Structure 1
Amino acid sequence: MTSADVAVIGGSGFYSFLDDARSVPVETPYGEPSAPVTLGEVSGRRVAFLPRHGERHAFPPHLVNYRANLWALRSLGVRQVLAPCAVGGLRPDVAPGDVVVPDQLVDRTTGRAQSYVESGAVHVPFADPYCGRLAETAGRQPGIKTGGTMVVVQGPRFSTRAESQHYAAQGWSLINMTGHPEAVLARELQMCYLSIALVTDMDAGVESGEGVGQEEVFAMFARNVERLKVLLAALIGELPDPAGCTCATWADGLDLTYEVPGGRTG
């Protein structure tokens, strides 16, 4: 097995996923990915796993090589990406322990390489940042909430109370440090992408919150890793055929000015 159909990108504390996994180092034009990709089988599908922050959390959110990570997965044949991540809650309609599939994203990061486009006119549609087909499938899984906006901040610091209150006042429900540019890079490479957000805490500006600390975030994620693995395995077993999805067909008829490893899809 040297290829995969589906990828899981593990978040903070989520450093392994596959049984009897085979490690496959991948070279990319953008440097090394966060860790060697591992390949295995889950629910009858060929799956690649990559820990976003490295095997021992070597890379903080603003220094993750997102371009190398997504390119490496696409070069192995991946067409669908499931991306678990730790998030804070901004509004009372979410609570610690909830697993949420957001449907919108707001980028508040700075200085990150967020595109493969380095020349020419290639404008990527991103009105709906997550794959609708994957979201619909996830919404049928017990224990997963759907909908809401995730704001992605630069990190590595947590928000001030004023910032948190501002984000909540916009109607945004989740806050995270890694969801961008991961989602848009997947779109540029014509892959279906879905964020699967575990709420680990209520952010600093929420009335019931007392500020956020790394220890509580990591502890909550650790307590829920096995639960996430079960949810992911069930979801992988029900993923739809990616053929014809608009996540891939947006580039039909366009002259892309960057390489899509493995060839373009439609």
Structure 2
Amino acid sequence: HRINYRANIWALKELGVKRILAPSAVGSLREDYRPGDIVIPDQFIDRTQGRKATFYEEGVVCHISMADPFCPELREILINEAKKLGFPVHPTGTYVCIEGPRFSTRSESKLFRSWGADIIGMTLYPEVVLAREAQICYATIATITDYDVWADKPVTAEEVIKTMKENIEKVKKLIMNVIPKIPEERSCECHKAIYEALM
């Protein structure tokens, strides 16, 4: 919750970065999204408070489209490569991003489930929006570490860290397989996202 997202994305933009693959540890809000599974989200819900979420705060107004917030080209490659490696992968998912650093209450967790959210984490937003403003392709590799508290057993940091360690090699292998498959030229619309967003 204290990450300087704007500085990070701006620095990557200045370095000429065109694509971001963002690993993330998440909790599951569904029975069939199990600890150890990988999710390649296609949507998100923002439940954070007061995070700096735009590069355009004065003068120019930017209404960036987030209808489809993740790069479709990167998502397709990630899904295909995860399947080839035999990893349990969910090709869609709605990521609800909470402020943190605390975990959810049971009522919050049940509310997010009722909204149709599939996974829960603390780091996606506003990184995904800032990447779109910077016209950088962005996709998340969300690794499920635990069931969120709707499942009656409270989440512990120890449980999260244990499962995360077990899955680090899996995520590394996926990224190493994905990188050579990414084409030099972008076929998505991410690189021109800002064109019709400025007022």
Distance 1:255 1:154 in 2: 28
Question: How do 1:91-170 and structure 2 match up within 5 A?
Answer: 91-119=30-58, 120-141=60-81, 142=83, 143=87, 144-170=89-115
1:248 aligns with 2:191: yes
User: Which structure ranks higher in relative contact order (CA pairs < 8 Å, sequence separation ≥ 6)?
Assistant: 2
Match of 2:135 in 1: 190
Aligned in 2, Cα 1:121/1:240: closer, same or farther, shift over 3 Å?
A: same
- Give the share of equivalent positions with the same residue, in percent: 44
**Following superposition, which runs of at least 4 residues in structure 1 exceed 6 angstroms of deviation?**
none
CA 1:77–1:92 in 2, change beyond 3 Å: closer, same or farther? same
Offset of 1:128 from its aligned partner? 0.7
Displacement of 1:255 in angstroms is 5.5
> Take 1:93 and 1:131, find their aligned partners in 2: how far apart are those partners?
25
1:234 aligns with 2:177: yes
In structure 2, relative to structure 1, the CA distance for the partners of 1:106 and 1:234 (3 Å cut) is: same
8 Å contact kept, 1:134–1:240: no
Deviation at 1:249, TM superposition (A): 1.3
Q: 1:224 aligns with which of 167, 172, 180?
A: 167
Q: How does the TM-score come out when normalised to structure 2?
A: 0.92
Moved more, 96-105 or 232-241: 232-241
**Deviations 1:152-184 (CA, angstroms, capped at 9, x unpaired):** 000000000110011111111000000000100
Q: Which runs of 5+ in 2 are unaligned?
A: none
Distance 1:201 1:248 in 2: 35
- How many residues get paired? 193
Q: Distance in 2 between matches of 1:175 and 1:123?
A: 26
Asked whether the equivalents of residues 24 and 141 of structure 2 are also in contact (C-alpha less than 8 Å), the reply is yes
Q: Residues 147 and 81 of structure 1: is their aligned pair in 2 closer, same or farther, counting only changes over 3 Å?
A: same
Distance 1:181 1:204 in 2: 24
> Are 2:37 and 2:144, in contact at CA under 8 Å, matched by a contact in 1?
yes
> Residue 242 of structure 1: CA displacement?
4.5
The 8 Å contact of residues 146 and 155 in structure 2, kept in 1 or not, is answered as yes
Contact persistence 2:26–2:146 (CA under 8 A): yes
1:84 pairs with 2:23:
yes
What is the TM-score when the length of structure 1 is the normalising length? Answer: 0.70
CA deviations 1:3-42 (Å, max 9, x no partner) are xxxxxxxxxxxxxxxxxxxxxxxxxxxxxxxxxxxxxxxx
Gaps of 5+ in 1: 1-61, 257-266
